[in-house]
Structure formats: C-alpha cells, structure tokens
A = this chain, B = another copy of it.
C-alpha cells in the first residue's frame, strides 16, 4: 500500500533526502565517523553550514544586508529571542492576531515584560480571514510589528500581495510557509522559521536578521545564547550545533534547488492546493472555511461540519494509508498539509478518498 503523510510538522520530507540519509549511515556503519559522530568544529560540518547558508540565500534572494543563522529551540525560542533582541526601545510590540502562533508569540513577549498591542484580530470569526492593518497604524510607538505569514493551525496566509504595508519594523514568523511561496526579504526586518515543515527535520531553526537593525540594539542583561549577534559572529557554531538537523536541512535545500527553486515549489504548491480547494468547493459534503484570498497553500483546513464525523473519516483515512489528516487538537476537523515534499499523487489519493466517502455518505 502506498502511504502518504499529511502531518503539519514534523512532516513529509523528499524521498531523495531520506535515501541520502540512509546512504550516509550505510556508508559509515563501521567507520565511527557518521554525520552524527563528527565534531561541529570539523571541516566537514563547517562546509555543510556554509553551503546551507549560501543555498538559503540563493533560494530566497537574501542580500548581505541580512544575516542568516541556524539555531535551536524552534519558533517558540524565537518568540523570546525576537523581543529580547529587538523590543529594547519602547518595550512595546504591535501584533496582528491571525491565529494560535501569533497569540503564543504575544504571550512570550508579555512574560518577558513587554507590552503587546493587538491591532486587529480575526479570532471572533475563527481566524477564517486575515486581520488587516488598521489605516491609522502609527509604527512610531512600537519596536516592531509581529506577523505570522502562514497560520499552520487555521490555514490562513498573508501572501506576498497581502502583507501589511508599514513603514515600521516588520517581524515575520514564516515557520510553515518558508520556501513554499515567494516573499521579498526586503519587506522584513527579521524572519524566523522552525525547521520541521519545509526546511528539514525538527531541531533546527532559521533566523534571517537585518544587520543594521541588530546593530542598533543594546542587549545588556540578555544571556549569551539568546543574542543573535553571538550566533552570527560564530557562523551558527557559537556552541555545539545540532549537526544532524543542519545536515538534513542542507540536503533539503539541495533538493529544492534541483527541483527549480522557490518558483517551481510555488508553482507546484499552487497546483496542489488549487486542486484540493477546487474539489472541496464543489463538494456539498465538505467545506473549506478560509476566505479565498487568504487560503494557505501548505495547510488546507476543511470539515464536514460535524467534528465527530470528521474524526471517524480521518481514522478511516489512516486505515487506507493517508496519515495525519486530523486538524489540530484545538480546532478539530481536517487539515491536509501540502508542504514542498508532498507529491501531487498524495493530493490525488486524498481527493479520491474524500470522493469515495462523500459518495457513500
């Protein structure tokens, strides 16, 4: 039975990358020098880090005005590093509340003693639209505006053409759609993304930081590991790096380049998601509730309208080799994650399954 994995992350990786990892351990079964046994100070690993940084710069068109670092601790640690490094003037942050991870970031910033002002929220309509930036937004009293480009749980996305237009500093959590669709880096002052969606395995986080902004900051009282500058100065090797996770990320970046870069990923993701949304929209059995212009390409959320029925169908899907279709435990329903590594055949298999269930209903 062919199996597909619709997990929202950690999730599916390119088959070619899994093969390369298998070969790495095959080759080094008895050398005591496999990728998880080499020093982070070895030339082999230093080359991997440099390569990975260069490839990410190439794929996302990141200029030298920005630093690129590989860190640990996931997006949740970035929820702390960002305010510790950048909420240093007003200690006040502006937020567009587009979902669960916007709220989590706000909570972390508040616990660190900052004020977080929610400019707009679509919580009362279950995050089925994007919260827009109020026309009267004055960035002058905030250290930055925090947004989430893709809301993994709610399936709502601020695409490049929908980004809030601000003259102030803009910070983006891009965890679940980095490399899935194009963004102009110059629109942002800081971007971060946990690894476990489009970048590679869990255990590595990417941060893209505007150097001139960082240079303005006084980070007295911030611990050394929480300062971006320390990691930048040591080229992501300030302390022992998560070697395996960065190694695998580097393989994923290779794969993205070989496939044709972000342009090609975007084309495929549009095609995959359009095919699934088109089916859901014409169906009288399923509903995709997110407003069309803000629909995610990577996390397609839908429901029959009956959460108990959704659970039964998701369980049946598992039995037929379609794994991890349940929505996040906080919202229920279905969520099909179509990350870069998800093949079109997975979408076709999913639609065929959903059609069969619909016809039997």
Chain A residues with CB under 8 Å of chain B are 3-5, 7-13, 15, 18-19, 21-22, 25-26, 28-34, 36-42, 72-77, 79-80, 84, 107-108, 111-113, 194, 196, 200-204, 221-226, 238-245, 248, 323-324, 329, 346
Please determine whether A33 and B202 come into contact, CB atoms closer than 8 angstroms.
no
Please determine whether A239 and B75 come into contact, CB atoms closer than 8 angstroms.
yes
* Interface SS majority for chain A: loop
Subset of 21 A-B contacts with CB under 8 Å = A3-B32, A5-B32, A7-B42, A9-B39, A10-B37, A10-B38, A18-B25, A21-B25, A22-B22, A22-B26, A32-B323, A72-B72, A72-B203, A75-B240, A76-B238, A79-B224, A80-B223, A80-B224, A108-B224, A202-B242, A202-B243
Please determine whether B30 and A15 come into contact, CB atoms closer than 8 angstroms.
yes
A11-B39, A12-B37, A203-B204 known; 9 other A-B pairs, CB under 8 Å? A10-B240, A15-B30, A18-B37, A21-B36, A22-B29, A76-B224, A76-B238, A80-B224, A196-B243
How close is A176's CB to chain B, nearest CB, in angstroms? Answer: 11
How close is A333's CB to chain B, nearest CB, in angstroms? Answer: 16
**Contacts A8-B39, A28-B18, A244-B245; A111 near B223 (Cβ below 8 A):** yes
A5 to B113: give the CA distance in the assembly, Å.
47
A240 to B13: give the CA distance in the assembly, Å.
16
A219: nearest residue on chain B (CB-CB)?
A: B111
**Contacts A22-B22, A75-B239; A40 near B10 (Cβ below 8 A):** yes
Please determine whether B72 and A225 come into contact, CB atoms closer than 8 angstroms.
no
